[in-house]
């Protein structure tokens, strides 16, 4: 996903997970077209391992402003289409996760938001439901669902070691400052032979290649790291996980958001959007299913799903 004519090598302010600071510019002129967070960025590809990351790395102050109260992860879906898709997705994910939990087992959702996924798991059996959530309002809703919540950033959460049978990292790893630190902490929290499940955007997807800086999975400046199946597998194995499985997932959201970003590329503010989404976003979710299904057949979808086990 290289801009035409861009071949320069650069030294970045933040080192890659492999330790290298040298990288090639893969895409420039990246900015926030959903919530108008400040800054213009680029994506750089590591010389050492090929992992793509955001450069320059945003400060914590910028990141705190990049997650407004109307951020889509905290908003209630307004359209019937979106609500139905969310319910179906949560139910299917809960069934898959529950199949890995022993009776009375513990599941931890890092970035649990309002606790919808954990509540869906709880409806399938008597499990201990734990979550970590940064946003106070979302944490309140999760606690109202009888979920034990650690408030704040995951790096500061004092979750007991070897206490969870399953940890969920659903669209979180791309947001954190240090993915290696996050994965290492999860490994310590998991019981021996416990499982980690999650999803991340796939920068090796068709939609990323076609839309470039307007790619919906780019989500600058919130997404700091951009994985492929190869670089994600490397990160998991370096963190001590085994039995790593990575596969493509049907996900039309990035296609719909990519189209929205491209159509709004000349806009200078985010007026007219609701929780970062235009009125035509929901219809696009349905209209773009066929092309996303073709992507899935060729393992080039905008999202990849992973699972990995802590050794016994």
107 in a structural domain:
yes
Residue 181: both structure tokens together = 């630190």
Residue 186: both structure tokens together = 């999860």
Phi, psi of 161 (to 5 degrees): -70, 150
Measure the CA–CA gap between 242 and 240, rounded to whole angstroms.
7
140 in a structural domain:
yes
pLDDT confidence of residue 182: 98
Placement of tokens 């189209």 in the chain: 259
Measure the CA–CA gap between 305 and 108, rounded to whole angstroms.
17
Is there a contact between 209 and 217 (Cβ–Cβ < 8 Å)?
no
Q: How many CB atoms lie within 10 A of CB 38?
A: 12
Per-residue pLDDT of the chain (312 residues; tens, 9 = 90+): 555 444 466 666 677 888 888 899 999 999 999 998 889 999 999 998 999 999 998 888 888 888 887 887 776 666 676 677 777 888 999 999 999 999 999 999 999 999 999 999 999 999 999 999 998 999 999 999 999 999 999 999 999 999 999 999 999 999 999 999 999 999 999 999 999 999 999 999 999 999 999 999 999 999 999 999 999 999 999 999 999 999 999 888 999 999 999 999 988 778 888 888 899 998 998 899 999 889 888 888 999 999 999 999
Which residues have CB under 8 Å from 267's CB, separation 6+? 33
pLDDT in tens, 185-206: 999 999 999 999 999 999 999 9
301 in a structural domain:
no
pLDDT confidence of residue 67: 85
Whole domain around residue 117: which residue ranges? 72-154
* Spatial CA neighbour of 255 closest among 228, 226, 227, 282: 282
Measure the CA–CA gap between 218 and 226, rounded to whole angstroms.
8
What is the end-to-end Cα distance of the chain in Å, rounded? 39
pLDDT confidence of residue 158: 97
For a pLDDT cut of 90, what percent of the chain falls above it? 67
Q: What is the DSSP letter of 83?
A: H
**In a 10 Å sphere around its CB, with 0-12 CB exposed, 13-18 middle and 19+ buried, how is residue 15 labelled?**
middle
Placement of tokens 């989404």 in the chain: 277
Helix, strand, coil percent content, the chain, rounded in steps of 5: 35, 25, 40
pLDDT confidence of residue 157: 97
105 in a structural domain:
yes
117 in a structural domain:
yes
Assign residue 142 the CATH number of its domain.
3.40.50.150
CA distances from 46 to 15, 219, 310 (A): 9, 19, 27
27 in a structural domain:
no
310 in a structural domain:
no
The number of domains in the chain is: 1
pLDDT confidence of residue 90: 87
Measure the CA–CA gap between 36 and 112, rounded to whole angstroms.
25
CA distances from 129 to 34, 96, 120, 288 (A): 32, 15, 10, 35
pLDDT confidence of residue 68: 81
- Helix (H, G, I), strand (E, B), or coil: what is residue 189? helix
pLDDT confidence of residue 274: 84
215 in a structural domain:
no
Which residues have CB under 8 Å from 34's CB, separation 6+? 72, 219, 257, 261, 270, 273, 276, 277
Q: Which helix (H) or strand (E) is 54 found in, with range?
A: strand 52-55
Residue 160: both structure tokens together = 């007991």
Is there a contact between 118 and 131 (Cβ–Cβ < 8 Å)?
yes
């Amino acid at each position: 996903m290289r801009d035409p004519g861009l071949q320069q090598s650069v030294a970045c302010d933040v080192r890659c997970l492999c330790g290298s600071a040298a990288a090639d510019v893969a895409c420039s002129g990246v900015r926030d077209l959903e919530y108008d967070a400040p800054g213009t960025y680029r994506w750089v590809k590591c010389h050492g391992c090929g992992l793509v990351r955001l450069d320059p790395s945003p400060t914590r102050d910028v990141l705190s402003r990049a997650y407004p109260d109307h951020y889509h992860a905290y908003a209630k879906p307004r359209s019937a289409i979106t609500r139905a898709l969310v319910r179906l997705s949560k139910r299917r994910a809960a069934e898959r996760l529950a199949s890995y939990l022993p009776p009375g087992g513990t599941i931890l959702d890092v970035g649990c938001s309002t606790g919808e996924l954990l509540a869906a798991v709880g409806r399938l059996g008597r499990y201990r439901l734990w979550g970590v959530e940064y946003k106070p309002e979302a944490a309140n809703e999760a606690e109202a669902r009888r979920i034990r919540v650690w408030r704040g950033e995951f790096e500061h959460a004092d979750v007991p070691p070897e206490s969870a049978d399953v940890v969920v990292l659903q669209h979180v790893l791309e947001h954190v400052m240090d993915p290696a630190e996050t994965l290492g902490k999860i490994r310590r929290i998991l019981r021996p032979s416990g499982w980690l499940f999650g999803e991340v955007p796939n920068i090796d997807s068709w939609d990323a290649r076609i839309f470039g800086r307007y790619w919906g999975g780019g989500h600058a400046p919130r997404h700091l790291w951009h994985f492929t199946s190869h670089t994600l597998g490397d990160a998991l194995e370096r963190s001590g996980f085994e039995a790593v499985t990575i596969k493509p997932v049907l996900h039309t959201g990035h296609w719909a958001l990519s189209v929205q970003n491209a159509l709004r590329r000349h806009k200078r503010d985010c007026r007219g959007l609701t929780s970062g989404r235009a009125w035509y976003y929901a219809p696009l979710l349905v209209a773009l299913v066929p092309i996303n299904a073709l992507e899935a057949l060729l393992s080039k979808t905008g999202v990849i799903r992973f699972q990995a086990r802590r050794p016994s």
